[in-house]
Each structure stands twice: as C-alpha cells, then as structure tokens.
Amino acid sequence: MRPFEYARAASTAEAVRDFGPGTMYLGGGTNLVDLMRLGVAEPERLVDVSRLPLDTIEPAGDRVRVGATVRNTDLAADPLIRSRYPMLARAVLTGASGQVRNVATVAGNLLQRTRCTYFQDVTRPCNKRRPGSGCPAIAGDHAGLAILGSSDACVATHPSDMAVALAALDAQVHVTGPGGDRIVPMPGLHRLPGEEPERDTVLSPGDLITAVELPPPPPGASLYRKVRERASFAFALVSIAAVLDVGRDGTVAGCRIALGGVAHVPWRAERAEQALIGGPATGEAFLQAAEAELEQARPLPRNAYKVPLARNLIVATLEELAP
C-alpha cells in the first residue's frame, strides 16, 4: 500500500476545505481500504469523515433524514426505517455480513465501487481503473456483470443493495462541496459508464454526502428480493426493489421497480413502470412490463442468464405484491 496522510475532519466544512488533489474521504473503509491494499485506490491523503456528527436518523415532517455516517446496521435496525421503509431495511440486511454492516456507512455504501474482477486487479487492463486500457471483461469473465446500460468501454455493475432500495424510494442525496450545498435525486447519483467509466457518480471532487432524505413512503406494498449463489454474504446476481399500489378497481395506481446487479447504476425500470401504471395488475401484464424493460438488455454470453432472471424476478415480485 502506498504511504498516505491521514486526517480526521472535525466538521463537514473543514473536510471540504481540506480536500485537495489526491485526497479521498474515508467512511467505514470496508471498500476503500481493501482497494488501497490492492493498489486500486492510491490516495495521498485520507480525510476521515466517519466521526462527523452525521450519524442520526431523524423525522423531518413526513420525511426522514438519514445522516451520511449512520452505520448500515443501525439503519436496518432503526424503528422508523423498519416501520416506514421496510424494503430499505431488508435491502441493507441482505448486504455484506454483520461485521461489515457494523462498520459500513450510508454514504460509503452509495459510493462503493464495482467488484468486477479486472477492476480489482491492477495487473490487468480496466477502463474504469486505467482509462483507455481496455475492458477484458467483455470477452472474458463477465458472468456477474451488466446487461443494461453498459457501453463498449465498461460492463461493470454497481454492487450496493441499499442503493437499489433508495432508487425505488426516490431518495434525495444531500451533498456539500466546494460549490456549496445541493441535492442529487436517486436515481441520478450514479451514472452509466458511456465513454467515461472511471466516473461512477455525478459528484465532483470534494463533494461530500451529508445525508440521504427519504420522501414519504409511496402507497402500496413493497419488497426487496436478492438472488445470489449462496444464502448469505454475496453480491446480487440480480436484485429487485419493488413497490406496487393496486386500486380497488384492480388497476395499477402506482409502481416503482429498481434492479440491482444489472447495470452500472441501481437501475430504475421506468419502461416497466410506465407499462403497468393504469393497467391491470395481472401476471400477463407483469410479464409484458418486464419484457418491455428487458428489450434494452445487451447481454454477453456468460451473463445472458440475467435476462430471464430479471424477468422472472420482476414478475414473481409483482405477483407477490399484488393483492
């Protein structure tokens, strides 16, 4: 690991002020420290923001504000979150292990990097790690990688479960930075790889996430389901966060669907949502909606299974949510 300086920020203002070239913010470190050991991340300076006073979960009118340094374990266990956003609590609990969740923060969870095997190995090319060096995953090992929104430069996936639930909940990410304070909506924090796969998010250097604000929970029933090879402690092959509101007349009044494990971003399935709203809440309609979404899929030979998996998962989850 390359030698680096370490400083602990006393306030968000100080953290932003002290941010310079070669600086990275350190949260729980469950991803960044691993990447530093591997030589994938080589910060000259770490500003530890994990002890900033941003570790509370507070109601704000009909909304809930979750501080950036709230630990994943505390988020999932919080009575307010469990009662009003059970889908979010469940998503967080499907991620990582108890030990990792005890340390990992909300902001760090959003900003964790892809687990693509080439990205994590500095001896092999990777456009995300070394722009322009190529993407060996496309011809090589891509079984866990993206089928939606990928580019010829990158087929990486975003690994977070929590972010998938937040994307379905229309969460708002509060950011402070050299350019002042602003709010970035979810989805929208993460970006598709395009020609610049090295950029995971729309944040600029020095931007610091301070909170995630949850709007009132959408009406209807919600569910988070994650598919993986083993029963625990694995990244999603595909996951889904879904909310379905069916009116008394049997038509879909509201629908939110976000998918994990399929794209460079937590993927909001807008085409499927639009296909469903106002229509009947039937298995046939769910299937048509899923297929409308997955028409855009660009699977590779070894991740083609994700297309039927995502389709089945959308249909089965909506069927479970339908009254």
Interface residues with other proteins (CB under 8 A)?
1-3, 37-39, 115, 117-118, 120-124, 136, 139-141, 143, 227-235, 237-238, 302-305, 308-309, 312-313, 315-316
Asked if residues 286 and 319 have their Cβ atoms less than 8 Å apart, the reply is yes
Q: Which is nearer to other proteins, 264 or 311 (CB)?
A: 311
CB of 61 to other proteins, least distance (A): 39
Which residue in 275, 277, 299 sits closest to 288, CA to CA?
A: 275
- The CB-side HSE value for 158 (13 A sphere, CA atoms) comes to 33
CB of 278 to other proteins, least distance (A): 26
CB of 316 to other proteins, least distance (A): 5
CB of 78 to other proteins, least distance (A): 23
User: What gap in Å lies between CA 206 and CA 235, rounded to an integer?
Assistant: 29
Q: Which is nearer to other proteins, 2 or 248 (CB)?
A: 2
Asked if residues 217 and 208 have their Cβ atoms less than 8 Å apart, the reply is no
Q: Which is nearer to other proteins, 230 or 248 (CB)?
A: 230
Q: Which is nearer to other proteins, 146 or 212 (CB)?
A: 146
CB of 122 to other proteins, least distance (A): 8
Residue 55's CB is within 10 A of a number of other CB atoms, namely 16
Sign, CA torsion 284/286/291/292:
positive
Q: Which is nearer to other proteins, 30 or 69 (CB)?
A: 30
- The CB-side HSE value for 39 (13 A sphere, CA atoms) comes to 6
